[in-house]
């Protein structure tokens, strides 16, 4: 989450020593994604597959952030190309996670068919638009919009099937957090690219808002991981 924000912010500020100038809230956004991983320790190996894949997504984000920051610290150059390589993998993991929460076979199959189509589209799109070292004004919003729509679809469909006590379910909190995480990312890259030269302070504020949303998203997802495990059905007398 935060690592890409950190690198984009450093590229925007054009600072020779970006680590000293980047606000703490951006680092906090990067560190906050460890919260769902910590919450998963409550259940260990008993964690359901949906939550395990959610944790895997958070770990993938953490690895991407770590590589982003390490490479920037080691050579001081812009490493936004890591985003182009890592984001599709991270987003594919989340699409698979959301497929596990589909209650209908058709929806589940549609989500899983969408994953290879999504990856193939990006493989064709990224070289065409050439965004490996600049703001991803096309591929970023495209991925964010797809994941936002998928998370909201899962949230609405599951809530319609079980309207009572939705807050007891892990999918409610996780899809809410994922929707918040991707919601602002639909508009942030083109917004930053358009206003970076003329209104840099406004773009900087937008990054702070995104970082705050990332922290809130991590808290919501961690809340979903922390939910009580569903009770196993057992046979017996009626």
User: Residue 9: its pLDDT value, please?
Assistant: 59
The answer to whether residues 65 and 2 touch, using CB atoms and an 8 Å cutoff, is yes
Average pLDDT, the chain: 83
User: Residue 170: its pLDDT value, please?
Assistant: 96
Condensed to tens digits (0 to 9), the pLDDT of residues 101-110 reads: 999 999 999 9
User: Residue 238: its pLDDT value, please?
Assistant: 36
Helix (H) / strand (E) element for 79: namely: none
d(CA 157, CA 77): 44
Rounded average pLDDT over 41-68: 92
Condensed to tens digits (0 to 9), the pLDDT of residues 59-80 reads: 999 988 888 777 765 555 555 6
User: What pLDDT band is residue 234 in, cutting at 50, 70 and 90?
Assistant: very low
Burial of 104 (0-12, 13-18, 19+ CB in 10 A): exposed
d(CA 93, CA 57): 6
Q: Provide CB contacts within 8 A for 6, sequence distance 6+.
A: 18, 22, 26, 27, 30, 65, 68, 69, 72
Whole-model pTM: value is: 0.86
Is the confidence at residue 195, as pLDDT, over 90? no
User: What pLDDT band is residue 199 in, cutting at 50, 70 and 90?
Assistant: confident
Q: At what angle do helices 188-195 and 200-226 cross, to 10 degrees?
A: 160
Can you point out the beta strands (E) in the chain? none
Condensed to tens digits (0 to 9), the pLDDT of residues 139-166 reads: 889 999 999 999 999 999 999 988 888 9
Rounded average pLDDT over 220-231: 93
* N-terminal to C-terminal alpha carbon distance within the chain: 49
User: Highest mean pLDDT range out of 85-89, 112-116, 195-199?
Assistant: 112-116
Q: Provide CB contacts within 8 A for 7, sequence distance 6+.
A: 68, 69, 72, 78, 79, 80, 83
Is the confidence at residue 81, as pLDDT, over 70? no
Is the confidence at residue 237, as pLDDT, over 50? no
User: What pLDDT band is residue 11 in, cutting at 50, 70 and 90?
Assistant: low
Domains in the chain and their CATH numbers?
2-226 (1.20.1070)
Helix (H) / strand (E) element for 121: namely: helix 105-129
Ramachandran bin of 236, using left for φ above 0, alpha for ψ from -120 to 50, beta for the remaining angles: left
Is the confidence at residue 227, as pLDDT, over 80? yes
Is the confidence at residue 45, as pLDDT, over 90? no
């Amino acid at each position: 989450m935060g690592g890409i924000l950190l690198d984009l912010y450093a590229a925007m500020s054009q600072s020779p020593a970006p680590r000293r100038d980047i606000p703490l809230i951006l680092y906090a956004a990067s560190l906050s994604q460890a919260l769902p991983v910590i919450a998963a320790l409550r259940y260990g190996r008993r964690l359901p597959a949906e939550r395990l894949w959610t944790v895997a997504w958070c770990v993938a984000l953490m690895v991407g952030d770590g590589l982003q920051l390490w490479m920037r610290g080691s050579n001081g150059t812009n490493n936004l190309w890591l985003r182009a390589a890592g984001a599709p993998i991270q987003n594919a993991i989340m699409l698979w996670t959301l497929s596990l929460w589909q209650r209908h076979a058709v929806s589940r199959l549609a989500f899983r068919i969408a994953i290879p189509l999504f990856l193939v589209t990006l493989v064709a799109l990224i070289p065409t638009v050439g965004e490996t070292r600049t703001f991803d004004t096309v591929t970023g919003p495209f991925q964010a919009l797809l994941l936002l729509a998928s998370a909201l679809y899962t949230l609405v469909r599951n809530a319609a099937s079980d309207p009572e006590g939705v807050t007891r379910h892990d999918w409610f909190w996780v899809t809410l957090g994922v929707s918040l995480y991707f919601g602002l990312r639909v508009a942030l890259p083109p917004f930053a690219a358009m206003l970076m030269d003329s209104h840099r302070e406004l773009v900087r504020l937008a990054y702070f808002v995104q970082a705050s949303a990332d922290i809130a998203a991590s808290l919501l997802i961690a809340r979903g991981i922390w939910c009580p495990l569903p009770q196993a059905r057992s046979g017996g007398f009626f």
